[in-house]
Every structure is written in C-alpha cells, then in structure tokens.
Amino acid sequence: MIRFDQVSVTYGDGAAPVVHGVDLTVPEGELVLVVGPSGVGKSTLLGTVSGLVPHFTGGTLHGRVTVDGRDTREHRPRELADVVGTVGQDPLAHFVTDTVEDELAYGMECLGLPPDTMRRRVEETLDLLGLADLRDRPVAALSGGQMQRVAIGSVLTTHPKVLVLDEPTSALDPAAAEEVLAVLQRLVHDLGTTVLMAEHRLERVVQYADQVLLLPAPGAAPVLGEPAEVMALSPVRPPVVALGRLAGWSPLPLSVRDARRRAAGLRERLDALEPPAERDGSGGSGGSGSPGGAGGEPLAEVSSLTVRRGRITALEEVDLTVRPGETIALMGRNGAGKSTLLNTLVGMYEPARGTVRLGGASGAVPHRTRPSELLRRVGLVPQDPRDLLYADTVAAECAGADRDADAEPGTCRALVSTLLPDVHDDTHPRDLSEGQRLALALAVVLTAAPPLLLLDEPTRGLDYAAKERLTGVLRALADDGHAVVLATHDVELAAELARRVVILADGEIVADGPSTEVVTSSPAFAPQTAKILAPRRWLTVGQVRTALEEAGVSV
C-alpha cells in the first residue's frame, strides 16, 4: 500500500537530511507504529505519505513515495485526499468549520459524497468516538482531548485507505485513548485500512502494532520489524518493555497482561523489599515535602470556586490549596476542567463564585492583577507552546525571556540546553518538533523562576529521555521550594513525579491524596509497573531497579 524507495528529506541549508535512506514497504491492512526520539524526523516521514512534504512544508524530497500506486511528488495533498487521511499533532490547525458535526461532514463534502451517505457516516463516527453529546458544540469550546477526537473523526468519515496519525492519543485521557485505539483496530482488522502512526506514549499503542518502524537517530537508516524485536533495540521504550529488559524476559512483553504472566519470579524477589512510598511514608515518588501539605504559606488557595464558560459550568465548588515544595498532578477525563483550573489560576477566567488567591489570604487575585506582577507569582506553560513563542530564533526567544524576567543574560539559554541539548541558537521555533517547542516554552516560563509553576499536558510530543530530563528539572524546582501543578493524561509522568494526585470529574474534585493511594486504586490512572506488580505499590521501573540494586538482589 505504501512504498518508500530510497527516501531522504533535507530542509533549507541543512547539512544532513532529516530522514535518510528509507527503503521499505508498508503492506495493506497493517498498523505500523513509527517510533524514535523527539526531533528524529517522524513527522517528516509521515508528511511524505500525505504529500505535505514537500508540497506544503518545503524542503527537498529525494527518492520516491507511492501510496496505492500514486507518486506523492506528482500528487498534491488534495489529490490524495480520497486515499490518505491525515491527522497532525495540532488539531486546531486541522479545523475549517465551526461545529463538531460540520467538521465531521466537511471532508465528505469536498469529495462530493451523497447527502444520505454523509449523514450515515457522521452518525457512525459520532458513536465510534463518543462524540454524540458534542455534535452541536463549537469546536473552539472543546477541550484539547475533545478536539483530538473530532480531528480523528473528520478523517474517518471519508473512509480513506490509508490513515496517517501523528501523536493521535497525546491529548486523550486513558479511556478515550483506548476508545480511539479500538476504532483503529477495527478499521485495520475489519476494513483492511492501513495505519501509519507516530506516538511517543508507547505504553498505550505498542501492543496493537503489527510492525514497528524505528528511526534511531536523525539521518540514521530506519529499522522495520516485529514489535518485540524492534523494542529490544530501541532507545525509546515503554515501562512494560523496560521492566522486561530489567528482568531479562525474552521475548519482551508488550502488554501488561503478558508481563503479569511472567512476573511471578520478580514479585518474589520484591516481596522482601518495600516500595519507596511505603518505606518513607511519602505517598509518592518525586519531589520533597509531605503529600497534600508541605510547610510554609500557601502559594495558591482556591475556595468554593465555580467557573462558567458560556452556558457550561466548567468548575463547581472546587477547593484546593497548593504549598511550597508540592508536586501535584491534576487528572481526569477530557473536559473535566483541568485546563480551566490552571487558566483561572493565571487570571484568564473570572470566577462566577468563590475565590482564588496567590500567596495566602492577603495575596493577589489573578484576574485583577497586572500581568507583570503575575509573572513573579505564577507561570503557565499551555497545551499549545506556540502561544508563548514569538521570535524568529531560539536565541531571540531566550534573550526576550531574560529581559522580561530581569534575569541574568543566558539564564533561559542554560535551561534550553538542559531540556534540549541538540538545539542550535539560530533554529526557528516553527522548525522544532512539537515536543521541542514545548521544552522551549517551558524554559521561557522557568526563566522568571515563578514560585508556582503550572503545566498543561507538559509531555505531549516528548520521548522518554526528554520526559526524564523534564522530570529532573521539575524535581529540582520542588526541592528549592517551588510548587508544580501539572494537568496531565500521562499516568507514567504522574507516577514518576507527583507526590499528590487530584482527580477532577465534570468540574468537581472527586479524589485528592497521595499519588500512591490515588493511582493504584484506579484502573484508569495506574501506571504499567503498578498493574504488573500489584498489589504491592511499585509505581515505576526506576523504583524497582533502585530497590534491587540497594538490596543486592539478582533479577
């Protein structure tokens, strides 16, 4: 179905190609997962299939890509629309209409399908993706995860032979991600659709892949093969694979079920050891301070907060206190109110009822405080990092951040070097991958060293190595007395970093406690290691490795 013949892509004056020497075939009716570190060229490779590369992005495409017999060099994206459906990392860039139902119908209108066919397919897709209740909702009023589902649905209605998906579950809660993956499985198995998917959250998708295409490094030759075989070579791997490698299991497990069947011996070795949370009574795995109540004056106090967005009540009677040194994960399904809570803390929404204060009872009220003063109290890294990036180069962004924060010159650039070791000063932010842009935006916000740092889906587009670097930075901030609150669907990040987890549902807090207690009691929010080694409270592979090494226990 898809054929790459010695494909290489070079942008601008780049000395080396972003993608090099791709020579392989993707058969019809298979789900092929594209993996590799951030910035390795996964999005570029996907773009060659849809024709976006080079017709839209520019650059030079060497070699040949054919889809269902059509050469993508000779057919522009619109001429491939009946064969290839594409969903990129940014769903907002995908939308052309105002409402959910209109968006689902738009692609079919462009193809000239009969009205009765369009109606039937819209209804099918609304049900498949759980969007029926949102059919009349303006797309601008949707949460990030809801937008992602609508973007996927707008492609599914055209029934393409090939689906190209770039980070399709990155903004979805665990349940919604499972629903989307189940739909993709059905398309592959029942309709013979070919799916080419890039995804960093491998713990969600690797078990569903027929083959894995590994891009090990920029410009390096790709490796295509069986998932377990490629994962044994891959520099990026999900926790279930990392645990399998630690325990020496062969073949490597790809699912929690496979790992649990092999974990009896590992559980026996761990029975004599205590998980860190039980040993030190911290209730979590990262940061400093006690769960739910580190010492010092609160950095943020939310009392009986109700927020309305139009006719929708986004938050209802929310109470939350954030103290210095805390690391808190806000979790919950898409549309639960996580982003609204973060945005209210930086003054973007005015409460309908209740109060929000930064810095104790006599502190600042966010929506009544000047931005220049707010910058010294709280910083927000939004879901779309481009909202914070305006300059033409990384160096210019960093220089502007240093000026705005009255920081020493070079402060922001040092943070960028920590988070993005291989990014050059003259790189334009638009040429960065989604994960790299997010890391740059985070460095811009951290330059001001705000006491309270808020992050909305901070690991979207980040590989496991980048997430580890981010976790190290955030832990250091918590150890220095900063508070970190992150809204995330990444259960592995919550397990690794958060000492406290707050779960929202329909705008209300339904759980608030130590991360170990909250996530291990929830099948939806438990990390892979916890599921494999239950009922003991091991949350991460790192905890297991450290405990075994300290005890001198052989795996």
Tokens 């210019």 identify what position? 396
Sheet holding 194-198, edge to edge: 84-87, 162-166, 194-198, 31-35, 211-214, 223-225
* Domains of the chain, CATH where assigned: 2-236 (3.40.50.300), 237-272+530-555 (no CATH), 283-529 (3.40.50.300)
Distances (CA, A) of 229 to 155, 207, 403: 32, 13, 50
d(CA 405, CA 489): 30
Residue of 191, 124, 139, 135 whose CA lies nearest to 162: 191
Minimal CA–CA distance to 212: which of 193, 192, 232? 232
CB 31 within 8 A of CB 19: no
Beta strands in 403-469 (DSSP E): 452-456
Of 504, 94, 125, the residue nearest 318 (C-alpha): 504
Q: Which residues 6+ apart lie within 8 Å of 151 measured at CB?
A: 87, 91, 94, 95
Residue 345 · residue 378 · CB < 8 Å: yes
Closest by CA position to 88, among listed 486, 340, 460, 493: 460
Total number of residues shown for the chain: 555
Residue 197 structure tokens: 């998917």
Q: How many CB atoms lie within 10 A of CB 319?
A: 12
Quick check: helix, strand or coil at residue 284?
A: coil
Residue 29: exposure state from Cβ atoms within 10 A (0-12, 13-18, ≥19): middle
- Report the pLDDT value the prediction gives residue 522, as an integer from 0 to 100: 84
Residues 199, 458: Cα–Cα separation, whole Å: 15
What per-residue confidence (pLDDT) applies to 384? 80
3-state secondary structure of 555: coil
Question: Distance between CA 23 and CA 403 in Å, rounded?
Answer: 48
Strands of the sheet containing 70-71, edge to edge, are 19-26, 2-10, 60-67, 70-71
Q: Collapsing DSSP states into helix, strand and coil, what is residue 124?
A: helix
- What is the amino acid identity at position 31? L
Q: Tell me the average confidence (pLDDT) per consecutive run of 10 residues in the chain, 555 residues long.
A: 92 80 92 90 92 88 93 90 86 88 94 94 91 92 82 91 90 83 88 92 94 89 93 93 94 95 92 72 42 69 94 94 96 92 95 91 86 88 85 93 90 89 85 81 90 91 84 91 94 93 96 91 90 92 92 72
pTM of the model: 0.83
